[in-house]
């Protein structure tokens, strides 16, 4: 996740959502050593989201609808 966020930051995006590619409960795993160089320099707002949530966003975008607000129930 850190490398993807790092590449997005260097590409000039405003924020990033990274969707899991497995259907499973969302579990955050501690950053391992090889990601540390990226993590310490990240300033980009980023979030890791479940595959189902990512799929619903992709479906909405592919239908031509504009996604203007995302509500997340906690």
Could you report the per-residue pLDDT of 12-28, keeping only the tens digit for each?
999 888 888 877 665 55
- Give me the torsion for CA of 4, 7, 9, 15, rounded to 10°: -30
Q: Which domains does the chain have, with CATH numbers?
A: 2-62 (3.50.30.30)
Its pTM stands at 0.64
- Identify the band that residue 74 occupies on the pLDDT scale cut at 50, 70 and 90: very low
Residue 42 CB contacts under 8 Å (≥ 6 apart), including other chains: 2, 5, 6, 9
pLDDT at 12: 93
pLDDT at 36: 67
Place of tokens 């590449």: 7
The per-residue pLDDT for range 20-73, each reduced to its tens digit, is: 887 766 555 544 445 667 778 888 888 888 888 888 888 888 888 776 666 554
């Amino acid at each position: 996740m850190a490398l993807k966020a790092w590449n997005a930051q260097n590409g000039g995006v405003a924020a990033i959502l990274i969707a899991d590619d497995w259907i499973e409960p969302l579990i955050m795993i501690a950053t391992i050593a090889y990601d540390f160089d990226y993590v310490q320099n990240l300033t980009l707002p980023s979030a890791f989201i479940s595959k189902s949530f990512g799929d619903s966003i992709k479906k909405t975008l592919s239908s031509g609808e504009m996604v203007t607000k995302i509500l997340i129930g906690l």
